[in-house]
Amino acid sequence: MRAMNNIECTYILRELSSLCGKHFSKIQKIANDTYRMKIGDEHILIQLPLRLGIAKYISESGEPDNFVQHTKKLLHNQRLLSVSQHSGDRIILFEFEKNKLICELFSKGNILILDEENKILNAIREESWKDRSTFRGNTYSPPPSNFASGIRISLSDKYIIVCLLKLPLGKEYAKELLSRSSIDEKTPGNSLS
């Protein structure tokens, strides 16, 4: 199964925004890197790092882990205030009355719980990179976004499809754009106006 891309994350926000004003009731681990969260009457399936969305068919849950137990206590009966996407990236932010739940749908994926000052209270994966870490007690910072700073692609002598893959669209959408524009994928990028 392929992972959701940035555009699909943006689209799923429309569906998730209907949950605003409803209360968190539970989170369960279904399998490795697969979680089910219940807000109001809706179940949200989070399959790291592939997808996130409202689920109609619910699998049986597995054994609760430390992340699930701690998250249940932190978010118990909190009302969802908003759902947003960070800088057009594959980062979905659920803002509750006292805490935030962040789903990172890239690399190995992660779910983090933050306090009001964006301190990490709980995370599935505690990792460190040169520009950020996801350890408890640290202030959460998302990875740097190419999308937020403005998109610039240079149309080189490479195939146009290669140039377009620098955009946060995903290969399927880049191909569809070219198809609808009647442009061959192997057209050199710098030959287009």
| 181: DSSP letter | T
Residue 108: give its domain's CATH number.
Answer: 2.30.310.10
Rounded average pLDDT over 26-47? 94
Q: 167 and 88 in one domain?
A: no
String of DSSP letters for 32-85: TTEEEEEETTEEEEEETTTEEEEESS-PPP----HHHHHHHHHHTTPBEEEEEE
Q: 165 and 89 in one domain?
A: no
CA-to-CA distance for 129 and 36, rounded, in angstroms?
Answer: 28
pLDDT at 148: 46
Q: Which domain holds residue 176?
A: 160-191
Q: Please, what is the end-to-end C-alpha distance for the chain in angstroms? A: 36
Q: What is the mean pLDDT of the chain?
A: 89
Instruction: Report how many domains make up the chain.
Output: 2
CA-to-CA distance for 193 and 48, rounded, in angstroms?
Answer: 40
Q: Is residue 145 part of a domain?
A: no
Of 75, 103, 123, at which residue does a domain stop?
Answer: 123
Q: What is the pLDDT of residues 148-193, one digit of tens each?
A: 455 566 677 788 888 777 776 778 877 888 888 888 888 888 888 7
Q: 119 and 63 in one domain?
A: yes
CA-to-CA distance for 80 and 66, rounded, in angstroms?
Answer: 23
Q: What is the pLDDT of residues 45-84, one digit of tens each?
A: 999 999 999 998 777 777 778 999 999 999 999 999 999 9
Q: 177 and 117 in one domain?
A: no
Q: Is residue 138 part of a domain?
A: no
